[in-house]
Structure 1
Amino acid sequence: MPTKTYHKLVRDRIPEIIEADGKTCVCETLSDENYISLLDQKLNEELAEYQESKSLEELADLLEVMQAVVKARGWTLEELERVRAEKAAKRGGFEKKILLKEVQG
């Protein structure tokens, strides 16, 4: 059976799922620094997948990675929501569908 090389961050149960399928895999536990770096890469990967598919499932994957980033950086979801709400209060959200075309002066 051919070997596929991935070298990417995967969800916690993926090795278990691979082995349940009768395959073997080689994994390592990352340092905090490498984990955050690979989470940042995973954010880009999941965003690209969402942009291609526009599916709720891919958007959920993006949210899962965002939650992992928050935790890995020592923040809380409550802090993230507070910052989001503060920005929305000061600058608004995106509900009005405004396209800024140009500014003069």
Structure 2
Amino acid sequence: SLEIARPKVKVIAGANRLSHYVYPAEARMGKGTYSGTLHARILAEIFDQNGKLIGRESYDRNLGSIPVMIRSDACNLANMNTKELCSKYEEPNETGCYFLV
């Protein structure tokens, strides 16, 4: 299975590791691509010559960053109301459906 994590940045402050969600306005202001991390869960099954299952393992892998479409389900703006969008410096009437790369 595949999953796209919502866009975040990780900050190391002394001994603390902090992370916070990133919003499209921050990417527009020069902080880079608006992207999330693509994760995969891989299930490997091993069968003998008779088709009997003899082993099963699952692996979780980080496949890297992938651009997130603005206002998609993976976007941090998803399901925000007008007031919330304005607080994140977004235009409430904008439909999204584009990438910031």
Provide TM-score, normalisation by structure 1.
Answer: 0.27
- Structure with greater contact order relative to length (CA < 8 Å, sep ≥ 6): 2
Task: Write 1 or 2 for the structure with the bigger share of strand.
Answer: 2
Which protein is richer in helix relative to its size? Answer: 1
TM-score norm. by structure 2 comes to: 0.28
